[in-house]
Amino acid sequence: MSQGRENTKGQDKDVVIRVRGLVNGFGGQLLHDHLDLDVYRGEVLGVVGGSGTGKSVLLRSIIGLNKIMSGTIEVFGKDTSTLNDHQMREIEMRWGILFQEGALFSSQTIAENIQVPLREYLKMPQELMNEIASMKISMVGLAEDAASKHPSELSGGMKKRAGLARALALDPEIVFLDEPTAGLDPISANMFDELVKDLQKSLNLTVFMVTHDLDTLRATTDRIAVLVDRKIKVGTIDELRRDPHPWIQQYFSGPRGRAAA
Amino acid sequence: MNTAHEAESSNTRARFRLERGQRSLRLVAEGAWTTRDAASLDQRLREIEMGDASDAEIDGSGLERIDSAGTWLLVRTKRDWEGQGKRVGPISLPGMYSSLLHTVEHEHTAPPVVIHNRHTLPAFVERVGKATFHGMQQGTGILSYVGRVTLEWLEALYHPRGNLRVAALFHQIEETGINALPIVGLLAFLIGIVLAYQGADQLKRFGAEIFTINLLGVGLLREIAGLITAIIIAGRSGSAFTAQIGTMRVNEEIDAMQTIGINTVDALVLPRILGLAIALPLLTFYADIMGMIGGAVMCYFDLHITLPVFMRQLQEAISVNTFLVGIIKAPVFALIIGLVGCYEGLQVERNAASVGRLTTRSVVESVFLVIVLDAAFSIIFSIIGI
């Protein structure tokens, strides 16, 4: 597989997430069988795969929500299984996660939701937190009056934007997106793709995105990781089109795949 | 492409210095301006005295790294100065941050959000008003729901074949009645023991131990067995009604039933209320018996009253009326528990949190109403002299 996007400075690629020999399984069935994956700084990586191939499990393994059976996961060059709580918090400050349904705290307003990480990690005057929350809200393209609303008063697309704003609260280096456009109408999904691209560029984010949406893959990703046969295949969309594997062929060359091309 | 994020060394700490010229001010930002250091920068930036300078400049070109919070601080400082009538040149940042600066400066023009303080007098009045309004809405809601259930009930009586779901009814009787036998029996037995023990302890002082049996008979049959059973069932079945119907609402099952043409009151509410109305009097009778057994056991061990003596004294102490007064309340309690449980279940919104909230509310309301009704019954019975 080729290297995907070239590094502009021409130096060796800076690997921010390195997965080696990952094994995961449930109920005697293996989901991942010695799976390797590198995620480079500043790239947008899309993760695809059929239902039940363990896309979300891979994401949850990397962020430490899922106990892995064997293998190592290094984030920012540190093996996450060897870190103590304090070191883990240092890493957690440097990533943000957008869960599928936003996972906003329902008892708090959007502004308070965004301030949760700020309040948890940093001592900051309330006024500055309000300013930062309001800045994040406009960065993700929400109307200013969304700040004082509760999550139940927002539509699905707005919840995702608010969830993204919370994920970006600490200006993380890596953002994990779990099916960011699922359940959105095509126009909202396009707008969300644009948003991710813009923010990725202006904040220089590394984006790890689990998605089913071929349009999103085409519009935003630099490389795509396909989960097939309990392993992973990584490449650009054009490289993957030439891959003979039947599932990959069907995925990218089926009617939806051609439509998105 | 990016500066690697390493542990902060002393020369990357966020800092700035001011260069004052003739009637001009230059802010030079250095180091890494990130969210972590935003709080310390915030205060110092606000304290900058402009003096008599009329022109200002913000130079961030020497910055090692800056993120959106740091950029916001620069943008805010610029806006503050402009607000004071100074001329401020464009902010200069290293080239790779130009799109970040553009995003922060042009997309964010709204004033900062205000988090409302919830402990002010107007906020208190607002909360009281909201609660009152909500209470009234709840009242009219329950009333119209009771009306609807009554109508459906009458219709079911009129056409029992079409509207009464017999299988569901028996399922509910099993669920709320038979499956509740162990817990109701055990608790009634224990209550009988406690009542006999405490009664005997007090009555012994007057040498009137034998009247423990009167206390047991009248207390259990008239009040306690019925009340305890109703409260257990409110906690056990009332909450289950709300949770079951509520979960069906969350899953849109209720909507699906309606579109298929199934009457939800017939299918969900009537079998539950009717099943409970049949099961609760039977359970109350069972609790009466178990309570008496508990009392008899305690009387035997504590007061050495044998079973024949116990029975004879019991026969003198109570009449059929005593039993009837207790048992007649049970269907009414069942009606209340069933109505409240199903009503709150139908009020669930399409999120999981509201299932929990309304289940709690359903139990609190039905226990409250059961006790209030019990008091009302006592008053009515004393007026008509039973």
Question: CB of A223 within 8 A of CB of A47?
Answer: no
Q: How far apart are CA B231 and CA B215, in angstroms?
A: 21
Residue A9 within any structural domain of the chain: no
Q: How far apart are CA A248 and CA A236, in angstroms?
A: 12
Give me the pLDDT at residue B340, please. Answer: 93
Residue A102 is which amino acid? G
The answer to whether residue B38 neighbours chain A at the CB level (below 8 Å) is: yes
Residue A223 within any structural domain of the chain: yes
- Nearest CB to B115; choose among A112, A171, A173: A112
Q: What percent of chain A has a predicted confidence (pLDDT) above 70?
A: 93
Residue A184 within any structural domain of the chain: yes
For residue A202, the distance in angstroms to the closest alpha carbon of chain B comes to 4
Residue of A nearest to B43 (CA): A125
Give me the pLDDT at residue B117, please. Answer: 65
Q: How many domains does chain A have?
A: 1
> What own/partner pairs with CB < 8 Å and gap ≥ 24 does B198-206 have?
B200/B298, B200/B299, B200/B302, B200/B303
Mean pLDDT split into 10-residue runs, chain B, 386 residues: 42 79 84 84 82 82 84 86 83 82 74 66 89 90 88 81 79 94 96 93 88 92 94 95 93 87 85 94 96 93 90 91 92 95 91 89 94 94 86
Question: How many other C-beta atoms can be found within 10 angstroms of the C-beta atom of residue A120?
Answer: 12
Residue A229 within any structural domain of the chain: yes
Please give the domain boundaries of chain B with CATH numbers for all domains. 11-107 (3.30.750.24), 135-384 (no CATH)
With CB atoms and an 8 Å threshold, state whether B113 touches A111: yes
Residue of B nearest to A126 (CA): B115
Q: What is the largest CA-CA distance in chain B?
A: 113
**Under DSSP, is residue B2 helix (H, G, I), strand (E, B) or coil?**
coil
Residue A238 within any structural domain of the chain: yes
Question: CB of B292 within 8 A of CB of B216?
Answer: yes
- Give which of B3, B45, B66, B113 to mutate to test A binding, by max A Cβ within 10 Å: B113
Query: The domain containing residue A93 runs over which residues?
Result: 42-65+85-260
With CB atoms and an 8 Å threshold, state whether A171 touches B43: no
Binning pLDDT at 50, 70 and 90, where does residue A196 land?
confident
With CB atoms and an 8 Å threshold, state whether A106 touches B353: yes
Residue A76 within any structural domain of the chain: no
Beta strands in chain A (DSSP E): 15-26, 29-40, 44-49, 70-75, 78-79, 95-98, 174-178, 206-210, 223-228, 231-235
Residue A175 within any structural domain of the chain: yes
Tell me the CATH number at A105.
3.40.50.300
Give me the pLDDT at residue A11, please. Answer: 44
User: B94 contacts in A (CB within 8 Å)?
Assistant: none
**What's the token pair of residue B150?**
């009554």
For residue A244, the distance in angstroms to the closest alpha carbon of chain B comes to 34
Instruction: Give the predicted TM-score (pTM) of the model.
Output: 0.69
Q: Are strands B24-33 and B15-21 parallel, antiparallel or unpaired?
A: antiparallel
Residue of B nearest to A87 (CA): B7
With CB atoms and an 8 Å threshold, state whether B112 touches A127: yes
Tens of pLDDT, residue by residue over A125-181, are: 888 888 888 888 888 888 888 888 888 888 888 888 899 889 888 888 899 998 888
For residue A9, pLDDT over 60 is answered with no
With CB atoms and an 8 Å threshold, state whether B115 touches A130: yes
With CB atoms and an 8 Å threshold, state whether B43 touches A125: yes
Question: How many other C-beta atoms can be found within 10 angstroms of the C-beta atom of residue B50?
Answer: 14
With CB atoms and an 8 Å threshold, state whether A202 touches B103: yes
